[in-house]
Amino acid sequence: MIHGPTRLEGSVPTATAKNAVLPILAACLLTEEPCIIRDVPLLEDVRTMAKLLRSLGVAVELRKHTMRISAAGNIERTATYDIVRKMRASYYVLGPLLGRFGDARVSLPGGCAIGPRPVDLHLKGIAALGAEVNLEHGYIHATGRPLRGGTMLLEGASGPSVGATANTMMAAVLADGETVIEAAACEPEVVDLAGFLTAMGAKIEGHGTPVVRIRGVKRLHGADYRPIPDRIEAGTLAVAAAITRGNLEITGCEPEHMVSVVDRLRQSGATVEAGKRRLVVSAERRPAPVTLATAPYPGFPTDLQAQFTALLSFGHGTSVVTENVFEARFLHALELNRMGAKIDINGRTAVIQGMEYLSGAQVMASDLRASAALVLAGIAARGETEVQRIYHLDRGYESLEQKLGALGAKIERVSY
C-alpha cells in the first residue's frame, strides 16, 4: 500500500547484482572445492538458486550476506521442472553440470510474462562444444565427455544472449582446447562471471567484447568473490528520485555500467552527478519527453524500460519507448493506464503522452521490473495505490519498501 505523492530525499545503498550472483552461484558447481560469495542479496531468486543447488547435493550455507558453496561428493545432474518453472535462471546449471560431469538434465522452462524466451542459443552453444542434446519428457538432456573447444556465433533475432553466453562460457572452461564465442553478450554481469571463473583458474579473454576466447583447463579450484553492484537497482532508485522530483544519493553503485541510463535521465531534465561508486540524482520539474529504445549492453537496458515508462507518464510532452529485447514486455503500461497514464502500445513501441498527475489505484504486478515501475508510479501519484502480487518484487529487490520508506515514501507491506 502506497500513499502519494511524496518527494524522496536522502542517501541509499546499492545491493549486489542479482543477475551477476545467479550465474556465479551456478558456476560453483564447476569445482569440488568450496567457494565463498560475498554480499549476496537476500532475494527470492537467490533462495531459489540455493534450493536448486541443494537439490543437486551441493552444500550451501548462508551467514548474513556471505554464501559458502561446496559441490563436493555426489552431485545430481537433474534440475527439475518444479524449480525451473519458478525461475528461468535455473538454466544456468546446464553449462557447469555438463562441463564438469559430461551430463546434465534440465527441465525446459515454460511460458514467461515478458514474452517468448527460447533457449535455442544455449543449446547451440553447448552443441558447438560437441555435446549431444536431446529433448525428452520436457527435459533437455545434454551429454558429452570430454567437451571440446569450438567456435560459434551466439546471435539471435534480438541480438546476443546474456544467458547463452554465460552458459556456454561455463561449459567451455573445462573443455579440451580453445572456444571462441562470437556475438557474445557484453553485459557487466557476463564480465563479472568471467571474473569469477578466472578467480577459479579459468583462462578467458575478450569478456566485455563481442568475441570471447576460452582456453580449457583440466580443473578449477575454489574462489572467494564479491560480485558487482546492481545497475538495475541503482537505476530504479535513480528513477525514484526523478519521478518524485526528489534528491537521492545512490551509494555503492557503478556509474560506468549506467552510461545510457544516466544519459536518458539527463535528457528527461534530471540533474545527475556521477562520482566514484556513487550517483546523485535530482529533478525539479516534470520530465521532458524522451525517445528511447532498449538494446543489449551498452544500450539502454530492457530491465529499466518499465521504470522509465512510469517516469515518462508524468512527462511534459510525448515520449516514445521501443522494446527491442523482449517483445511483450509492456504489461505494466496497461496497469499505469489504470492510474490515469496515457500510453498507447503498438507492437514493440509505447507512445506515452505525459500527464500532469496520475491517481492511485489497485494495480497488478506482472513481473519483477513491472512491479518496480508500479511502486514508483504509486509513490508519485495522488492518493492510495495498492500493488498486488508483489512477490515478483521480492525476486529481485531486497526489502525495496524499507529502502524507499527510509527515503520518505509512505509505503507499507500488507499481508492478507
Q: How far is the CB of 95 from ligand EPZ (least distance, A)?
A: 12
Query: Which residues from 170-199 bind ligand EPZ, rule CB under 6 A?
Result: 185, 189
Query: Which residues from 321-350 bind ligand EPZ, rule CB under 6 A?
Result: 325-326
Instruction: Give the separation between CA 119 and CA 105, rounded to whole angstroms.
Output: 14
Instruction: Give the separation between CA 363 and CA 4, rounded to whole angstroms.
Output: 15
From candidates 120, 132, 256, 412, binder to ligand EPZ by CB under 6 A: 120
**Nearer to ligand EPZ (CB atom), residue 232 or residue 411:** 232
Classify residue 67 by its DSSP letter.
Answer: E
**Nearer to ligand EPZ (CB atom), residue 70 or residue 349:** 349
Question: Which residue's Cβ has the minimum distance to ligand EPZ?
Answer: 163
For position 24 contacting ligand EPZ by CB under 6 A, the verdict is no
For position 19 contacting ligand EPZ by CB under 6 A, the verdict is yes
Strands of the 35-37 sheet, one edge to the other? 59-63, 66-70, 35-37, 224-225
Instruction: Give the separation between CA 107 and CA 140, rounded to whole angstroms.
Output: 6
Instruction: Give the separation between CA 94 and CA 107, rounded to whole angstroms.
Output: 10
Which one is catalytic: 28, 35, 112, 253? 112
Triad 86, 363, 397: Cα angle to 5°: 45
Sequence-distant (≥ 6) Cβ neighbours of residue 173 within 8 angstroms: 30, 99, 197, 200, 202, 203, 204, 214, 216, 217, 220
Give yes or no for a contact between 246 and 59, defined as CB atoms under 8 angstroms apart. no
**Nearer to ligand EPZ (CB atom), residue 51 or residue 215:** 51
**Nearer to ligand EPZ (CB atom), residue 163 or residue 360:** 163
**Nearer to ligand EPZ (CB atom), residue 131 or residue 164:** 164
Considering CB under 6 A, how many residues would be counted as binding ligand EPZ? 25
From candidates 369, 380, 397, 403, binder to ligand EPZ by CB under 6 A: 369
**Nearer to ligand EPZ (CB atom), residue 179 or residue 247:** 179
**Nearer to ligand EPZ (CB atom), residue 8 or residue 166:** 166
Say how many C-beta atoms besides its own lie within 10 A of residue 72's C-beta: 12
From candidates 10, 138, 156, 275, binder to ligand EPZ by CB under 6 A: 156
Q: 393 — alpha (psi -120 to 50), left (phi > 0) or beta?
A: alpha
Instruction: Give the separation between CA 239 and CA 308, rounded to whole angstroms.
Output: 7
From candidates 25, 84, 98, 162, binder to ligand EPZ by CB under 6 A: 162
State the Cα torsion 183-308-191-212 to the nearest 10°.
Answer: 0
Q: How far is the CB of 166 from ligand EPZ (least distance, A)?
A: 7
Burial class (CB in 10 A: 0-12, 13-18, 19+), 32: middle
Instruction: Give the separation between CA 145 and CA 191, rounded to whole angstroms.
Output: 27
- Tell me if residue 112 is catalytic: yes
For position 249 contacting ligand EPZ by CB under 6 A, the verdict is no
From candidates 6, 78, 158, 399, binder to ligand EPZ by CB under 6 A: 158
Please say whether the dihedral angle defined by the alpha carbons of residues 327, 330, 334 and 337, taken in this order, is positive or negative: negative
For the window 269-308, what string marks contact with ligand EPZ as x by the rule CB under 6 A? ---------------------------------xx-----
Catalytically annotated residues: 112
Chain positions contacting ligand EPZ, by CB under 6 A = 19, 22, 88-89, 117-122, 156, 158, 161-164, 185, 189, 302-303, 325-326, 368-369, 396
